[in-house]
């Protein structure tokens, strides 16, 4: 595996390989000194063209626990305005000598474009509305950690599907592993031709709740109201938020997940945040573990490819 751009690149076997690697890194993270020399001497460029403290910190922590050197690159939108193309920017960074590039970009497809120009491995840290494969992998890990099997697992993803890279990658990952995915949103927050994503669709969270094994809430952006996609965040909360009443109707064995950061009072009521079914902090912990596995497999196999050629 040279690059990790989408879940589709992995398939079920690729996901399982990463899960197994993550299991061993989970053990590393339990040690008093949670660090191994696996990637000593490797340089990883973290290119965040869009701010994301959480994802950047998670990747950096993962890289450092593997003893890699991390080079930080923050692209302000001004460098784009100065006329430097994406290719120019990437070739400049690569010329400094990097083994892998983690890309976060507000434009869908930017990591795929970069992978065509770069010799280094490219890891997608989230692109536009398109994909966020490491988020999906950490979500899979979190569900799997609970002893759940995906075959037939009923997962409801609730919220702004249209503008969500997490939704697109998670639908792909969950379905690849055999889960049944239902998207729950008002029609304005579903992409046109949503059937292309291969999931069930509902506009009624209450009708879905009782038959849900994993309730996955997406972050609701305030700007969707300005775009007249929802009347108000209050109405959104009443129709699609996890209220205390809905939490009571959700099966006791269900898991509640969210990619963070949560909007209290919008996707989820404050009184539900501490519900014992919520796995949000486990997701964050597992993010480091899974990203260690991804970095290790990408850089390990890329090194093997290079020595083979």
Partner 1 sequence: MSVFIHGGQILGPNGVERADVLVTGSSIVGTGLDLPVPGNARHIDAAGCYVMPGLVDLHAHLREPGTEEAETIETGARGAALGGYTAVVAMPNTTPTIDSPSLVRDVLAIAEGALCEVVPAAAMTVGREGQLLTPMGELARMGVRIFTDDGRGVQDPALMRSIMEYATGLEAITGGAPVVLAQHCEIEALSAGGHMHEGEWSTRLGIGGQPSESETLMMLRDIALARRTGAHIHFQHVSTGEGVEIIRQAKADGVKVTAEVTTHHFTLTDEACSSYDPVFKVHPPLRTAADVDAIRAGLADGTIDCIATDHAPHEPHTKEFPFDQAPPGMLGLESALALALTELDLPIERVSELMSSNPAAIAGIGDRHGNPVEAGQRANLVVVDAESEWTIRGTAMASRSHNTPYEGRTVKGKVRFTVLDGELTVDDGVATR
Token pair listed for 3: 């690059």
Q: Which of 2, 65, 105, 237 binds partner 1 (CB under 8 A)?
A: 105
> Closest CB to partner 1 among 129 and 236?
129
- Residue 170 CB, shortest distance to partner 1, in Å, is 13
Provide the mask over 172-191, with x wherever binding to partner 1 is found by CB under 8 A and - wherever it is not: -------------------x
Tell me: does residue 85 bind partner 1 (CB under 8 A): yes
Taking the CA of residue 41 as centre, how many other CA atoms within 13 Å lie in the half-sphere pointing to its CB?
A: 3
Place of tokens 């890289």: 63
Tell me: does residue 104 bind partner 1 (CB under 8 A): no
Across the beta sheet with 69-74, the strand order is 69-74, 43-48, 100-105, 121-127
Q: Which of 52, 61, 79, 108 binds partner 1 (CB under 8 A)?
A: 108
> Closest CB to partner 1 among 95 and 196?
196
Alpha-carbon distances of 103 from 22, 200, 220, 295, rounded to whole Å = 21, 31, 23, 13
Tell me: does residue 229 bind partner 1 (CB under 8 A): no
Token pair listed for 238: 């009443």
Distance separating alpha carbons of residues 254 and 209, to the nearest angstrom: 10
> Closest CB to partner 1 among 31 and 87?
87
- Listed ranges 61-69, 82-90, 206-214, 236-244: which one lies at the site for partner 1 (CB under 8 A): 82-90
Token pair listed for 29: 């993270």
Tell me: does residue 165 bind partner 1 (CB under 8 A): yes
> Closest CB to partner 1 among 118 and 250?
118
Distance separating alpha carbons of residues 177 and 170, to the nearest angstrom: 11
């Amino acid at each position: 595996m040279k690059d990790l751009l989408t879940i589709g690149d992995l398939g079920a076997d690729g996901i399982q390989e990463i899960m197994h690697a993550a299991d061993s890194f989970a053990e590393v993270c339990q040690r008093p000194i949670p660090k191994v020399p696996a990637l000593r001497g490797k340089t990883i460029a973290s290119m965040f063209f869009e701010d994301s403290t959480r994802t950047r910190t998670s990747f950096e922590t993962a890289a450092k626990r593997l003893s890699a050197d991390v080079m930080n690159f923050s692209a302000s939108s001004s460098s784009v305005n100065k006329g430097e193309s994406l290719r120019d920017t990437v070739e400049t960074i690569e010329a400094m000598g990097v083994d892998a590039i983690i890309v976060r970009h507000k434009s869908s497809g930017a990591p795929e474009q970069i992978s065509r120009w770069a010799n280094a491995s490219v890891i997608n840290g989230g692109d536009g509305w398109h994909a966020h494969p490491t988020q999906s992998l950490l979500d899979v890990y979190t569900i799997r950690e609970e002893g759940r099997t995906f075959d037939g697992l009923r997962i409801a993803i609730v919220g702004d599907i249209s503008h969500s890279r997490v939704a697109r990658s998670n639908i792909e990952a969950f379905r690849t592993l055999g889960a049944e995915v239902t998207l729950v949103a008002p029609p304005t927050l579903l992409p046109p031709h949503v059937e292309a994503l291969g999931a069930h669709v509902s506009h009624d969270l209450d009708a879905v709740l009782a038959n849900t094994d994993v309730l996955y809430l997406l972050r609701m952006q305030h700007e969707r109201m300005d775009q007249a996609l929802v009347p108000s965040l209050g109405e959104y909360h009443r129709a699609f938020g996890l209220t205390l009443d809905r939490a009571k109707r959700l099966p006791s064995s269900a898991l509640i997940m969210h990619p963070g950061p949560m909007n209290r009072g919008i996707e989820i009521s404050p009184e539900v945040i501490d519900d014992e079914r919520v796995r949000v902090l486990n997701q964050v912990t597992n993010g480091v573990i899974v990203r260690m596995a991804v970095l290790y497999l990408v850089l390990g196999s890329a090194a093997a490819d290079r020595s083979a050629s």
